[in-house]
Amino acid sequence: MKLEFWLDYLSPVCYKQHKRIEELMFNYKFEDFELLYRSFELIPDFNPDQQYSFQQLLKDYHWVSLEEINKISCEIPDELAVLNVHDAHRLSHLAKKDNLAFLFNKKLFSAFYEDHKDISNSKVLTEIALDAGLELSKIQEVLSSDLYSDSVQLNRENAVHKGIHKLPHLRIDGKIRLSGYHSEKELISYLTMASAKMTKNEYCEGENCERKKAR
């Protein structure tokens, strides 16, 4: 079973979706399950100025309704700045190559949306990548070059070719396409529909866990 996840770090909805996926991965174990991350920069070659707000970003690029924009905007802290996230995407491809994509994306989203760190800053990105287990020499090689820029661009072009415009976007086994945010319960339903073989983990938390916690 393959779950593909198109995302951008400037999307608060992608952050929210990743949290649900984190819960899913923690609460359940799957047979032959693979989570694949796909880059989709909302604004390629983006050079934001200080006047550009997240509200404007959502309005211009996120393909969501005014009602959704107002709802999301209320959840965005004032400390959160609109940044260039191209280097973050490039490092995500290194993490994917080293089989550390899930942990890297978890820590990157957390650093940005929870700790309000500047994920356009090389030093901050290096700290996040090291914490996720990436090697310093490889991190420095990426950040001192344009390595993986083509991969980021190709991911976006392939998404557009597939008719993907709204983020987040999930695809299960290349068949079931889910555009926009989906709850953990909805994800389980679609994964089950795609014949996922799931068993409850012995230790888990959340509304979908029925096993008792260890004493």
CA–CA gap between residue 63 and residue 24 (Å, rounded): 26
Q: Do residues 3 and 45 touch, judged by C-beta distance below 8 A?
A: no
pLDDT of 207 strictly over 60:
no
The residue ranking higher by pLDDT, 196 or 63, is 63
Which residues partner with 38 through β-bridges? 6
**CATH class of segment(s) 2-200:** alpha beta
Confidence at residue 205, expressed as pLDDT on a 0 to 100 scale: 46
- Are 189 and 182 in contact by the 8 Å Cβ rule? The answer is no
pTM: predicted TM-score of the whole model, two decimal places: 0.84
Closest CA to 44 of 89, 107, 1: 89
38 close to 174: Cβ distance less than 8 angstroms: no
Give the type of residue at 66.
L
Q: Where are the domains of the chain?
A: 2-200
Tens digit of each residue's pLDDT (9 = 90 or more) over 141-187: 999 999 999 999 999 999 999 999 888 999 999 889 999 889 989 99
Residue 212 falls in which region: left (phi positive, over 0), alpha (psi -120 to 50) or beta: beta
